[in-house]
């Protein structure tokens, strides 16, 4: 494989150990490495006199290299040991873990070195070095910004920078995948130039310019993937008509009378599936808006017409919740329900597949495994995909292979700005349920300290209520985690309460048992990760404590607070920031105190953090936030939509060099697979 998808272990100096460390960070190809944006840019320290520079003070020195050699370190690796003549003195300079710099300098070179003097004054610890050709080169060096990349265990910063440079050399010889006419029209740098601007910027304006090109390419990859999917999902489909009598019977099965907004959404969906064209619709709704009830009604319409239905969820926990909900709502009916998840044993999978093929199951609830080719239906009429953004276009393409051509209804409780939704789901018609039923209010969120938050948990439990405590990670010492800080918090504040633990590394049966204990009242407190963000409905839960709250996006925080206040009692959410939380992050959290509209919060998140956090790229190796000029993201989304349509109309090859295909693959599983002709 060549081009942008060149495996990272082909780079020099990347052996088995380093390759494993990079893969654990999600870095597998040149695409991944070049998109590992710096977390920040440090200014070059000011020019200083080598004779008077103080210890531990950042400075830049200029001098002549007297000697430079590579020396092995005690714990592995090499460092550069250098003698520099500067300002009338000889100075020992060391670049730890960067022995490779010895190949960059020779005796007699005039160099600029940035770093700081050791506390004991014995040597100058360098952080950056350049060979100077003239005084203009020195001026450029003093104006430069020093990128600081995300830390990767086992990969020193200097090695990472060298790998980035080598990756840039690989792509320098490739044709820019964005046509020159489009670049000129948008005043965009070439892709190769954008990488240089991101990783070695001369100014913050340069970094922003490079970041805009990479942001645009990400959004364009989403729009291209969505349009390719629309070609595979369009076409004829068996109509699913429903009489008013059937619709009345369906409403009677719901545990509540649908609101006017829910009725309107259901009417649109039922009208869609009654036509002989395949429905492709996205149902957007804020937390607690009743999307599931609308989806179940559409499923029952298909079953009433003699068709089968597939209800897909992104996690085993959510799939189990949906299966239990259907069992409750359809208790006493003749509707046959099956379940299939990644934890289902092989014999059960075979039995379910056989029953589906014979038409002995009306509704299958499952995770992505239900989309596997070996899971065949006798007569599939509709596929409902919950939390659509966690699947991507690939799974919608897989859905088209089920049955003759089923109707597809995608659900998303994550508030996604319409501008971003157009890029993500351009192949889907959109319907939104804006209001929550029964006048139910969004629980207020407030910044709290540790004693205040946990005192409220204890008050709630004493009143017969229940509480969630949420952490951003499962384990680790650098971030608040369930198994780290969570154990300490419970021991300190909640030791006498009945506590259950829930996260993705637990066995499936343990997850179900923990959730059932919390739901039944056998547990007072559920300590969890964001795995409870969707699909957990416990009316008695009235308090939520979110530790390390600044590490979540606004949209995710809004989703989480939707897990409390689902009953008659008032609810509240405590946002507990980390001690190292920066002022700008606190200001972002304060927005949650003032705003309870999830879509407005998502728009704010889009501007503050960029689209990566909304579509999940932060967990796919994309490193720090790209340096994008605030406020311009929405405009690029609309431009990406237009350009995607124009490129595909001109038969543009989206698979060239693997660039857009590689981006889309890392943005939620949207692979540019060949689409079967309709």
Question: How many angstroms separate the Cα of 596 from the Cα of each of 142, 158, 421, 447, 571?
Answer: 47, 45, 20, 15, 13
pLDDT at 3: 72
Asked if 240 and 346 sit in the same domain, the reply is: yes
CATH at 591: 3.40.50.300
Structure tokens at 325: 């909900």
The CA distance from 17 to 156, in Å, is 13
* Phi, psi (rounded to 5 degrees) for 557: -60, -40
- Residues 253 and 300: beta-carbon distance below 8 Å: yes
Q: How many domains does the chain have?
A: 3
Q: What is the pLDDT of residues 317-336, one digit of tens each?
A: 788 888 988 999 999 899 99
The CA distance from 185 to 175, in Å, is 18
Name the 3-class secondary structure at 559.
helix
Q: Please work out, in degrees rounded to the nearest 5, the angle formed at the alpha carbon of residue 470 by the alpha carbons of 465 and 474.
A: 140
Name the 3-class secondary structure at 70.
strand
Which residues, 6+ apart, have CB-to-CB distance to 185 below 8 Å? Answer: none
pLDDT at 669: 38
Residue 605 lies in a domain: no
CA 615 from chain center: how many Å? 5
Sheet with strand 363-366: strands edge to edge: 337-340, 363-366, 308-312, 380-385, 407-412, 280-285, 429-433
Asked if 400 and 486 sit in the same domain, the reply is: no
Helix-helix angle 583-594:554-561, to 10 degrees: 40
Adjacent-strand bridge partners of 561: none
% of the chain beyond a pLDDT of 90: 37
Asked if 433 and 540 sit in the same domain, the reply is: no
Helices in 45-151 by DSSP H: which ranges?
Answer: 135-143
Which residues, 6+ apart, have CB-to-CB distance to 609 below 8 Å? Answer: 553, 625
The CA distance from 488 to 142, in Å, is 47
CATH at 105: 2.40.50.140
Compute mean pLDDT per 10 residues along the chain, 678 residues long, and list them. Answer: 76 87 83 84 90 90 95 86 93 89 92 92 90 92 85 83 88 88 94 91 86 84 72 73 93 88 94 90 79 94 95 83 90 92 84 92 90 83 76 50 75 63 62 70 91 97 96 82 93 95 86 91 95 81 95 84 87 94 87 81 65 40 42 64 86 73 55 33
> Among 595, 617, 651, which residue terminates a domain?
595
> Among 573, 595, 617, which residue terminates a domain?
595
Helix-helix angle 316-329:508-520, to 10 degrees: 50
Asked if 458 and 392 sit in the same domain, the reply is: no
The CA distance from 227 to 407, in Å, is 17
Question: How many angstroms separate the Cα of 301 from the Cα of each of 322, 339, 355?
Answer: 17, 20, 21
Asked if 237 and 301 sit in the same domain, the reply is: yes
Asked if 387 and 370 sit in the same domain, the reply is: yes
Residue 226 lies in a domain: no
Q: What pTM, to 2 d.p., does this model score?
A: 0.59
The CA distance from 633 to 531, in Å, is 29
Sheet with strand 499-502: strands edge to edge: 445-447, 572-576, 541-547, 466-470, 525-528, 499-502
CA 404 from chain center: how many Å? 33
The CA distance from 147 to 41, in Å, is 4
Q: What is the CA radius of gyration of the chain?
A: 28
Listing DSSP states for 494-559 in one string gives STTS-EEEE-TTS-HHHHHHHHHHHHHTS-SEEEE-GGGSSS---TTEEEEEEETGGGS-HHHHHH
Work out whether the CA dihedral 123, 128, 134, 138 comes out positive or negative.
negative
Whose tokens are 């960070």? That residue is 25
Residue 195 lies in a domain: no
Whose tokens are 């994550």? That residue is 414
Residue 624 lies in a domain: no
Nearest to 655 by CA among 236, 218, 221: 221
> Among 395, 422, 437, which residue terminates a domain?
437
Structure tokens at 414: 């994550």
- Residues 131 and 104: beta-carbon distance below 8 Å: yes
Question: How many angstroms separate the Cα of 262 from the Cα of each of 42, 253, 282, 570, 600?
Answer: 52, 15, 14, 24, 21
Asked if 73 and 100 sit in the same domain, the reply is: yes
Structure tokens at 78: 């090499």
Listing DSSP states for 383-452 in one string gives EEESSGGGT-HHHHHHHTTSSS--EEEEEE-S---HHHHHHHTTTSEEEEE-SPGGGPPPPPEEE--HHH
Q: What is the pLDDT of residues 353-362, one digit of tens each?
A: 899 999 999 9
pLDDT at 575: 97
Asked if 423 and 450 sit in the same domain, the reply is: no
Asked if 420 and 276 sit in the same domain, the reply is: yes
Listing DSSP states for 611-630 in one string gives THHHHTGGGGT-BSPP-PPT
Residue 149 lies in a domain: no
Asked if 417 and 500 sit in the same domain, the reply is: no
The CA distance from 563 to 528, in Å, is 12
Residue 197 lies in a domain: no
CA 566 from chain center: how many Å? 27
Answer left, alpha or beta for residue 525, where phi above 0 means left and psi between -120 and 50 means alpha. Answer: beta
Whose tokens are 């090859």? That residue is 653
Name the 3-class secondary structure at 281.
strand
Q: Residue 463: which domain range?
A: 442-595
- Residues 117 and 135: beta-carbon distance below 8 Å: no
- Residues 224 and 63: beta-carbon distance below 8 Å: no
Which stretch of DSSP H or E encloses residue 145? strand 145-148
The CA distance from 544 to 467, in Å, is 6
Asked if 505 and 429 sit in the same domain, the reply is: no
Asked if 385 and 457 sit in the same domain, the reply is: no
């Amino acid at each position: 494989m060549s081009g942008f998808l060149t495996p990272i272990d082909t780079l020099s100096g990347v052996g088995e150990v380093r390759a494993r460390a990079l893969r654990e960070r999600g870095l597998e190809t040149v695409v991944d490495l070049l998109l590992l944006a710096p977390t920040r840019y440090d200014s070059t320290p000011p020019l200083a006199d080598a004779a008077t520079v103080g210890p531990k003070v950042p400075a830049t020195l200029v001098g002549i290299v007297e000697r430079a050699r590579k020396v092995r370190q005690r714990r592995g690796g090499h460092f550069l040991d250098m003698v520099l003549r500067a300002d009338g003195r000889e100075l020992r300079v060391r670049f730890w873990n960067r022995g490779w710099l010895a190949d960059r300098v020779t005796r007699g070179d005039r160099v600029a070195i940035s770093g700081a003097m050791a506390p004991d004054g014995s040597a100058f610890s360098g952080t950056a070095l350049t060979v100077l050709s003239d005084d203009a080169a020195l001026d450029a060096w003093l104006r430069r910004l020093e990128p600081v990349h995300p830390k990767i265990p086992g990969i020193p910063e200097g090695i990472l920078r060298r790998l980035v440079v080598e990756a840039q050399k690989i792509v320098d010889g490739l044709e820019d995948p964005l046509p020159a006419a489009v670049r000129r029209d948008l005043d965009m740098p070439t892709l190769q130039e954008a990488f240089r601007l991101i990783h070695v910027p001369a100014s913050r304006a340069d970094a922003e310019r490079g970041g805009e090109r990479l942001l645009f390419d990400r959004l364009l990859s989403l729009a291209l993937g969505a349009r390719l999917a629309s070609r595979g999902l369009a076409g004829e489909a068996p109509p699913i008509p429903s009489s008013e009598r059937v619709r009345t019977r369906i409403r009677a099965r719901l545990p509540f009378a649908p609101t006017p907004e829910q009725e309107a959404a259901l009417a649109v969906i039922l009208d869609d599936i009654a036509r002989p064209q395949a429905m492709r619709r996205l149902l957007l709704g804020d937390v607690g808006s009743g999307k599931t009830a609308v989806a179940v009604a559409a499923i029952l319409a298909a079953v009433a017409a003699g068709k089968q239905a597939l209800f897909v969820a992104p996690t085993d926990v959510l799939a189990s919740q949906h299966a239990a909900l259907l069992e409750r709502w359809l208790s006493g009916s003749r509707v046959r329900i099956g379940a299939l998840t990644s934890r289902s044993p092989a014999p059960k999978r075979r039995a379910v597949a056989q029953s589906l093929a014979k038409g002995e199951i009306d509704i299958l609830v499952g995770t992505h495994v239900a989309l596997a080719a070996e899971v065949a239906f006798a007569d599939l009429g509709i596929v409902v995909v919950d939390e659509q953004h966690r699947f991507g276009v690939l799974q919608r393409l897989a859905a088209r292979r089920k049955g003759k051509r089923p109707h597809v209804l995608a659900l998303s409780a994550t508030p996604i700005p319409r501008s971003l939704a157009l890029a993500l789901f351009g192949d889907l018609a959109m319907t939104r349920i804006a209001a929550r039923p029964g006048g139910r209010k969004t629980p207020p969120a407030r910044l709290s300290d540790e004693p205040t938050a946990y005192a409220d948990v204890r008050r709630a439990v004493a009143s017969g209520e229940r509480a969630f405590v949420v952490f951003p990670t499962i384990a680790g010492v650098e971030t608040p985690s369930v198994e780290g800080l969570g154990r300490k918090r419970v021991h300190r504040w909640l030791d006498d309460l009945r506590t259950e633990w829930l996260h993705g590394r637990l066995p499936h049966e343990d997850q179900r048992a923990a959730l059932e204990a919390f739901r039944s009242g056998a547990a007072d407190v559920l300590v969890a990760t964001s795995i409870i963000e969707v699909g957990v409905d416990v009316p008695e839960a009235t308090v939520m404590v979110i530790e390390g709250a600044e590490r979540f996006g606004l949209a995710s925080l809004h989703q989480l607070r939707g897990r409390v206040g689902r009953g008659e009692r008032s609810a509240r959410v405590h946002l507990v920031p980390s001690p190292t939380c920066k002022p700008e992050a606190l200001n972002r959290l304060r927005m949650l105190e003032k705003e309870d509209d999830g879509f407005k919060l998502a728009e704010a998140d889009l501007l503050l953090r960029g689209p990566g956090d909304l579509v999940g790229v932060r967990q796919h190796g994309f490193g720090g936030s790209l340096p994008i000029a605030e406020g311009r993201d929405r405009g690029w989304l609309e431009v990406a939509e237009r350009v995607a349509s124009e490129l595909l109309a001109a038969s543009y090859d989206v698979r060239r060099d693997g660039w857009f295909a590689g981006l889309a693959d890392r943005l939620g599983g949207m692979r540019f697979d060949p689409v079967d002709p309709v």
